[in-house]
Structures are given as C-alpha cells and as structure tokens.
C-alpha cells in the first residue's frame, strides 16, 4: 500500500471512530501540517493578501480545510474540491482576518475581518509572552523552576472603555505551582500588540477592579 493510500485509510478510520496505530496517526498529522504549510505559502503569494498584510504585524492562528461533496462520482478531479480558511490576527487593528482559498484552483475567493473577536492565545503567542517576561527579568525564581503552570487571561485594560490599551492583545498570566494543592506564585502582564511587559496594576486596574500585584 502506498503512503498516500495508507494515510487515506487512516483518515477514514479516524472519521469512523476506528482505532488506528500511533504511527499512522503521527503520519497523518505530519501530512496535515505539510498541507497547512503549503496553503499558508500560497496565501502569502497572492497579491491581494500581500497588499492587505504589508507592514502589518500579524500572527497565524490556524488553517482549516473544509472539503466539498463530490459533484459526480465520475469526476474524480473534483472529488476533493473544497475551501481552505486561513485565520490571522492583525495586532495593529485588533482584527481577526479570515482568508478563503478555493481548492484545488488556489484562488483567493474572500477576505473577511472581525473586530474585537479576541481569539484565544496560540501556543507560539504564549511562548513569545513568556520569552518577553524572561528577558525582562520578571519571572524571578520561576525562571529556574521546572514545575509550574501558567494560566493566561485577557486583561481588563484590553476591554476597558477609554483605556489607552483597549483593543490590544494584552494578557495577564497567572503562575501556579504544579502541586497537589496549587498555590498562586505570582502574575505578570504582557501586551503582545506592543511586544512589551506591562505592570499588572496598569493592565488590571480598570474602574473599581484591581488585582494587587506581588512585590
């Protein structure tokens, strides 16, 4: 059985709820990642996408492929036609951008933007925020510790009316011990739109709400 046929069988089994081997699952995930990488490259090659994203700080959120039903069982070239939706976050305008690519032609069919959608932090964004905190020396003893859990939450200043940082990708990270009885070790705030560490008091003191930062 060829590699593509084996991956196709694995995908059908997963959709049907049939158990597959760990190797097949890993190969299928790797193939999906390669497809997503190609789709992102295809998007950046489109003049309309390049124009929209020129000079804009943005971040890739996810890529979703939605297959369309076959038009005919005899037109095998159209059986896997569908749409790819690539979601990006525009830090400068606080917009969730969605680019739609037609498959298999690769045409960019639509671009939509949603203001203040506030998609969850991605793994790479969380890593970037922790890197900024580490570079600023704000992790303290946590930088040397190996067992702790971080829980991000959108900061009140990011949604507070009239606040200068309203609409920013501003999050407060709460650090907990990875023990049977978790203890809060501290917190810190990062503005990913500006790529800077922000004081917790500034990030959370909006109106009558305030989180008292650790010394």
Exposed/middle/buried for residue 99 (C-beta within 10 Å: 0-12, 13-18, 19+): buried
pLDDT reported for residue 160: 86
**Same-domain status, 71 and 83:** yes
**Final residue belonging to a domain, choices 28, 44, 60:** 44
Here the CATH number for the domain that contains residue 81 is: 3.10.450.40
CATH number of domain containing 147: 3.10.450
- Both 68 and 111 in one domain: the answer is yes
Average confidence score pLDDT of the chain: 79
Is there a single domain that holds both residue 112 and residue 170? no
| Cβ–Cβ under 8 Å, residues 82 and 103 | yes
Helix axes 3-16, 22-45, angle to 10 degrees: 100
**Of 64, 87, 117, which one is at a domain's C-terminal end?**
117
Is residue 51 assigned to a domain?
Answer: yes
| 15 and 62, same domain (yes or no) | no
The domain boundary residue, chosen from 96, 117, 138: 117
- Does the pLDDT at position 144 exceed 80? no
For 78-88, the pLDDT digits (tens) are 444 578 899 99
Q: Considering the domain boundaries, does residue 212 fall inside one?
A: no
Statement to judge: residues 60 and 101 lie in one domain: yes
Mean pLDDT of all residues in 80-108 = 87
Would you say residue 72 lies in a domain? yes
Average pLDDT estimate for 125-141: 90
Q: Is residue 209 part of a domain?
A: no
Q: Is residue 154 part of a domain?
A: yes
User: Do 110 and 152 reside in the same domain of the chain?
Assistant: no
pLDDT at 69: 55
* pLDDT at residue 75, rounded to an integer: 46
In a domain, 214, yes or no: no
Tell me whether residue 86 is in a domain. Answer: yes
Q: How far apart are CA 171 and CA 196, in angstroms?
A: 11
Q: What is the span of the domain harbouring residue 99?
A: 46-117
Instruction: Give the global pTM.
Output: 0.71
Cα dihedral 14, 19, 23, 24 sign: negative
Strands (E), 68-183: 82-90, 95-103, 108-115, 148-154, 170-177
Task: Give the tokens for residue 106.
Answer: 């690769």
pLDDT at 19 over 60: no
Do 24 and 58 sit in the same domain of this protein?
A: no
Inside any domain, residue 133? yes
Domain count, the chain: 3
Same domain, 55 and 108: yes
């Amino acid at each position: 059985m060829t590699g593509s046929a084996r991956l196709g069988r694995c995908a059908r089994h997963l959709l049907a709820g049939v158990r597959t081997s760990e190797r097949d699952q890993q190969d299928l995930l790797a193939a999906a990642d390669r497809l997503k990488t190609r789709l992102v490259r295809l998007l950046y090659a489109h003049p309309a996408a390049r124009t929209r994203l020129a000079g804009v700080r943005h971040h890739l959120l996810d890529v979703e492929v939605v297959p369309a039903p076959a038009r005919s069982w005899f037109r095998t070239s159209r059986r896997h036609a569908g749409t790819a939706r690539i979601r990006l976050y525009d830090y400068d305008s606080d917009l969730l951008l969605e680019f739609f690519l037609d498959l298999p032609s690769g045409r960019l069919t639509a671009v939509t933007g949603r203001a203040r959608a506030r998609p969850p932090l991605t793994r790479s964004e969380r890593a970037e925020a922790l890197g900024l905190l580490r570079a600023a020396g704000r992790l303290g003893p946590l930088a040397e510790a190996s067992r702790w859990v971080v829980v991000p939450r959108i900061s009140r200043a990011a949604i507070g009316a009239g606040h200068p940082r309203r609409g920013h990708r501003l999050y407060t990270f709460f650090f907990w011990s990875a023990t049977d009885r978790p203890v809060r070790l501290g917190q810190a705030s990062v503005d990913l739109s500006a790529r800077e560490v922000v004081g917790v008091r500034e990030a959370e003191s909006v109106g009558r709400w305030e989180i008292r930062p650790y010394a």
